[in-house]
Structure 1
């Protein structure tokens, strides 16, 4: 098992429902990016591995989004043509790898943001933008895709070992005095 796969499993990312059901793309992602992750770990050993994972997933999300954006229109047109010529009952056989990878990376990335208890608004914005991009290609409504991505975020929050930040003593005093 590579260091990347071990780190993802350590935070239980392999059991996110949408990730667990996509073993082929999981393995492709781990195989493709394991060497890079290992190099980053060895180059900067003073930084926590989970922070390197956040950096890697951020990088991958940017790259996958850019890649899918560059051909989104033609992929949607191709999907429509397949539906018309072959039939919608067979169109699921023609999966487009880039959109699948972007979906997987997005689930992992927003999950990790939840796991690290990062600001929800960032995860929400990216979940919406990614859902909007993928909606025509995956033939799924934007709001459904966004909800699926945010399920991963909340699962990360639920599994997070980081305690919620308690309010400061000053805020607690102010609330007691005026609340």
Structure 2
């Protein structure tokens, strides 16, 4: 089989998962280069699981299944990073002391990028599904507190960046859902003439 055949098969395999992510707005979600690379790998690695999940649970809308998959992924990413926080932070301190703060820009650990990416995707889907903001905010706060320790950054700034994904999903939903009020108002107005 040629490379075009493999690419076509790959598109078929990832299409259902990627399609659901695109419905929620991933194609216009701002991601870092590291997050983009990890996203492409993650979509490819989780596609067959998502397809089988959709087959097993045909009564559930695919977006709710995606929410479940991302919830599971978020829990896994948190549990992977939390035990590493002190070690990653200490390693960053060594780089800063050895190379100086300005030259210590070492690549982020994969677990840091994974948690950031999964959280952004998860919050984007929550926003698209018009879920409760306070729940999204609580999860963004918990995640940003962990990321802030590792990245030596302000937790509130990270939380704001994560919540931008929630609003991105909400905005995508608004763009996808035509307002039902105008036709109703127009019918009422025309009916009174």
Match of 2:75 among 56, 62, 68: 62
5+ residue gaps in structure 2? 1-10, 182-193
Distance 1:47 1:85 in 2: 53
Q: 1:135 — aligned with what?
A: 148
Q: Any idea what the Cα deviations from partners look like across 1:16-63, whole Å, max 9, x if unmatched?
A: 113687321111221221121111011111211111100000000000
Match of 1:154 among 167, 170, 185: 167
TM-score, normalised to structure 2, is 0.79
Is the partner of 1:17 in helix, strand or coil? Answer: coil
Match of 1:26 among 20, 39, 47: 39
Q: Any idea what the Cα deviations from partners look like across 1:77-96, whole Å, max 9, x if unmatched?
A: 11111111123333323320
Is the partner of 1:118 in helix, strand or coil? Answer: coil
Is the partner of 2:60 in helix, strand or coil? Answer: coil
Distance 1:11 1:21 in 2: 21
Q: 1:76 — aligned with what?
A: 89
Q: 1:52 — aligned with what?
A: 65
User: CA 1:162–1:69 in structure 2 vs 1: closer, same or farther (change >3 Å)?
Assistant: farther
Match of 1:35 among 29, 48, 59: 48
Distance 2:134 2:164 in 1: 14
Q: 1:174 — aligned with what?
A: none
Alpha carbons 2:34, 2:113 under 8 Å: kept: no
Distance 2:116 2:98 in 1: 27
Match of 2:106 among 88, 93, 99: 93
TM-score, normalised to structure 1, is 0.84
Distance 2:124 2:150 in 1: 23
Number of equivalent positions: 165
Which structure has the larger Rg over C-alpha atoms?
2
**C-alpha RMSD of the superposition:** 2.0
5+ residue gaps in structure 1? 167-179
